[in-house]
Amino acid sequence: MKEYTREELAQCTGHDGKPPLIAAHGKVYDVSNSYHWRNGRHHALHRAGADLSADLSRAPHGAHLLARVPVVGRLRES
């Protein structure tokens, strides 16, 4: 599995030919095929290219929904 730095993840916004990726709890997910992540944005609240671990605790849904999208790597902690 590929390891992503926070800087690499930040570039994966779904624009300029890069896939929309998000991270949560150390895993990196490809949300390219998720209806809820069109254009690299999730309900105008979140943008791809970010670690959303802290935000998941405040979300109206649990992290279990991430099981619907593929894990493509790990987030490297510095």
Write the pLDDT tens digit of every residue in 27-37: 999 999 888 76
pLDDT in tens, 6-64: 999 999 999 999 999 999 999 999 999 888 767 777 766 779 999 988 877 676 565 66
Task: For residue 67, give its domain range.
Answer: 2-75
Number of domains in the chain: 1
CB contact at 8 A, 32 and 21: no
SS (H, E, C) the chain: CEEECHHHHHCCECCCCCCEEEEECCEEEECCCCHHHHHHEECCCEECCCECHHHHCCCCCCHHHHHHCCEEEEECCC
CATH number at residue 8: 3.10.120.10
Q: Which two tokens stand for residue 40?
A: 């690299």
Query: Could you tell me the pTM of the whole model?
Result: 0.86
